[in-house]
Amino acid sequence: MNEINFLPLSGIAVIVLGFAMRFNPLLVVTAAGLVTGFAVGIDFIALIATFGEKFMNSRQLASFLLILPVIAILERYGLQQRAKTWVASIKGATTSRILSIYFVVRECAAALGLINLAGQAQTVRPLLAPMAVGAAANQYGDLPQAVKDMIGAHAAACDNIAVFFGEDIFIAFGAVLLMDAFLKENGIAGIEPLHIGLWAIPTAIAALVVHLFRLARFEAKIRTEIARCQQQTKQASATDDSTTMFKEGSL
């Protein structure tokens, strides 16, 4: 076995450290490029020109900018408010049903490029989480805080998972364009962003199936969690009672 040359890997160390230390990602990535270039002995001018060449050659990544005016004008005339009205109108007696419907629609919307239609701040916090908690409260009465938290966390997770696994189907999303640019830069021709988007569909469907399955079982989990909390409070109040009795006795 011949010696491994570790110098070209120095940029990766810069990336890992830089991201971990929360420096601005653009700065980290540029620094990683500079360090890699210096480590393998590319001269400065040639390195800057390489930066320029590669940046120029990946301009297709900015084509998502073309979509923003459309989204912007629709938002100006109430697109997000319309989405909110829709979320608020989800009918369904149970928590898991509300979350499931939201999940399906959110993933489909993301696949069509409507990634910012909803979100943690826009819809989960003001609408989805309260609705999901409300449905459970309707069914089981007053909920312990731990159960409310658990339902809230599930609402947030629904939004994340649905968007993540829907968005890569949309051909003008950054990830798809990045993959496309990477393949072209490495001399692999004949792949269109559309192909990459199509191959995102199987995992997107798997995400849908897996998460809906978990949500279907979530209702039972809420019941056991409520029971567990009630038991705990009972035990706690029982010990409270005994200590107060003990105190009274000692008085």
From the CB of 157, what's the least distance to another protein, in Å? Answer: 4
Dihedral through CA 99, CA 164, CA 193, CA 30, nearest 10? Answer: 160
CA distance 142 to 230: 11
Token couple for 15: 């990336």
Give the range of 89-97, 147-155, 227-235, 236-244 binding another protein by CB under 8 A. 147-155
From the CB of 179, what's the least distance to another protein, in Å? Answer: 4
With binding defined as CB under 8 A, does residue 217 bind another protein? no
Q: Which is nearer to another protein, 185 or 241 (CB)?
A: 185
> Using alpha carbons only, how large is the chain's radius of gyration in Å?
26
With binding defined as CB under 8 A, does residue 106 bind another protein? no
Q: Which is nearer to another protein, 1 or 251 (CB)?
A: 1
Residue partners of 100: CB distance under 8 A and separation at least 6: 212, 215, 216
What does the per-residue mask of binding to another protein show for 24-63, with x meaning CB under 8 A? xxxx-xxxxx--xx-xx-x--x-xxxxxxxxxxxxxxxxx
With binding defined as CB under 8 A, does residue 140 bind another protein? no
Q: Are 242 and 122 in contact (CB under 8 A)?
A: no
With binding defined as CB under 8 A, does residue 233 bind another protein? no
With binding defined as CB under 8 A, does residue 250 bind another protein? no
The CA-based angle 17-21-24, given to 5 degrees, is: 100
With binding defined as CB under 8 A, does residue 177 bind another protein? yes
